[in-house]
Amino acid sequence: MKQYDYVIVGSGIAGLYTALLAKKQGSVLIITKGSIDDCNTKYAQGGIAAAIGKNDSPETHFKDTIAAGDGLCNIEAVRILVNEAPVRIADLVDFGVPFDTVDGEISLTLEAAHSAPRILHAGGDATGEHMEVTLSKRSRSSKIQMLEDYLATEIMVEKGIVKGVKALDCRTGSIEQFDCRYLILATGGAGQLYKFNTNSDVATGDGVTLAFNAGAEIIDMEFFQFHPTTLHLPGVTPFLISEAVRGEGGVLRNVDGQRFMPKYAPEADLAPRDVVARSIVYEAKRTGSDRAFLDVTHLPPYVITTRFPHIYRFCLDHGLDITKGPIPVAPAAHYMMGGIKTNSWGETNIAGLFAVGETACAGVHGANRLASNSLLEAVVFGKRIITRTTKGTKAEASSNSTQGEEQRHSLSQRQVAETVPPPSHSVLQELLWDKVGIIRHKEGLTEAADVLASWQKSLPKPTDRPSYELNNLVVTGRLVTEAALLREESRGAHFRSDFPRTLPQWQRHIILAR
Ligand X SMILES: Cc1cc2nc3c(=O)[nH]c(=O)nc-3n(C[C@H](O)[C@H](O)[C@H](O)COP(=O)(O)OP(=O)(O)OC[C@H]3O[C@@H](n4cnc5c(N)ncnc54)[C@H](O)[C@@H]3O)c2cc1C
The count of chain residues that interact with ligand X, using the rule CB under 6 A, is: 43
Contact pick of 28, 68, 275, 375 for ligand X (by CB under 6 A): 375
Instruction: Identify whether the C-beta of residue 10 lies closer than 8 Å to the C-beta of residue 187.
Output: yes
Kindly state whether residue 330 participates in binding ligand X, applying the rule CB under 6 A: no
Kindly state whether residue 470 participates in binding ligand X, applying the rule CB under 6 A: no
Q: Which entry of 118, 273, 491, 496 is annotated as an active-site residue?
A: 273
Q: Which residues contact 90 (CB under 8 A, 6 or more apart)?
A: none
Kindly state whether residue 128 participates in binding ligand X, applying the rule CB under 6 A: yes
Kindly state whether residue 347 participates in binding ligand X, applying the rule CB under 6 A: no
Q: Which helix (H) or strand (E) holds 466?
A: helix 465-486
Q: Which is nearer to ligand X, 89 or 151 (CB)?
A: 151
Kindly state whether residue 374 participates in binding ligand X, applying the rule CB under 6 A: yes
Q: Which helix (H) or strand (E) holds 88?
A: helix 75-95
Nearest to 49 by CA among 131, 122, 108, 95: 108
496 a catalytic residue? no
Kindly state whether residue 477 participates in binding ligand X, applying the rule CB under 6 A: no
Count CB atoms within 10 A of the CB of residue 147.
17
Kindly state whether residue 331 participates in binding ligand X, applying the rule CB under 6 A: no
Kindly state whether residue 220 participates in binding ligand X, applying the rule CB under 6 A: no
Kindly state whether residue 186 participates in binding ligand X, applying the rule CB under 6 A: yes
Q: How far apart are CA 32 and CA 8, in angstroms?
A: 9
Q: Which is nearer to ligand X, 473 or 485 (CB)?
A: 473
Q: Which is nearer to ligand X, 10 or 326 (CB)?
A: 10
Instruction: Identify whether the C-beta of residue 43 lies closer than 8 Å to the C-beta of residue 220.
Output: no
Q: Which residue is nearest to ligand X (CB)?
A: 12
Contact pick of 4, 6, 7, 10 for ligand X (by CB under 6 A): 10
Kindly state whether residue 12 participates in binding ligand X, applying the rule CB under 6 A: yes
Q: How far apart are CA 220 and CA 207, in angstroms?
A: 15
Nearest to 225 by CA among 97, 27, 70: 70
213-229: string of b/e by CB count within 10 Å (b at 16+)? Answer: bbebbbbbbbbbbbbbb
Q: How far apart are CA 345 and CA 363, in angstroms?
A: 12
Q: Which is nearer to ligand X, 404 or 492 (CB)?
A: 492
Helix (H, G, I), strand (E, B) or coil at 15: helix
**Which one of the spans 181-189, 255-263, 323-331, 505-513 is the region binding ligand X (CB under 6 A)?**
181-189
Helix (H, G, I), strand (E, B) or coil at 199: coil
Contact pick of 164, 352, 357, 363 for ligand X (by CB under 6 A): 357
Kindly state whether residue 109 participates in binding ligand X, applying the rule CB under 6 A: no
Contact pick of 29, 48, 332, 380 for ligand X (by CB under 6 A): 48
Q: Which residues contact 511 (CB under 8 A, 6 or more apart)?
A: 217, 218, 219, 341, 406, 407, 408, 409
**Which one of the spans 30-38, 58-66, 216-224, 481-489 is the region binding ligand X (CB under 6 A)?**
30-38
Instruction: Identify whether the C-beta of residue 85 lies closer than 8 Å to the C-beta of residue 49.
Output: yes
- Kindly identify the residues of this chain, within the stretch 135-154, that bind ligand X according to CB under 6 A: 151-152
> Which residues belong to the active site?
273
Which residues here bind ligand X, judged by CB under 6 A? 9-15, 31-34, 38-41, 43-48, 127-128, 151-152, 186-188, 198-200, 202-203, 206, 240, 335, 357-358, 372-375, 378
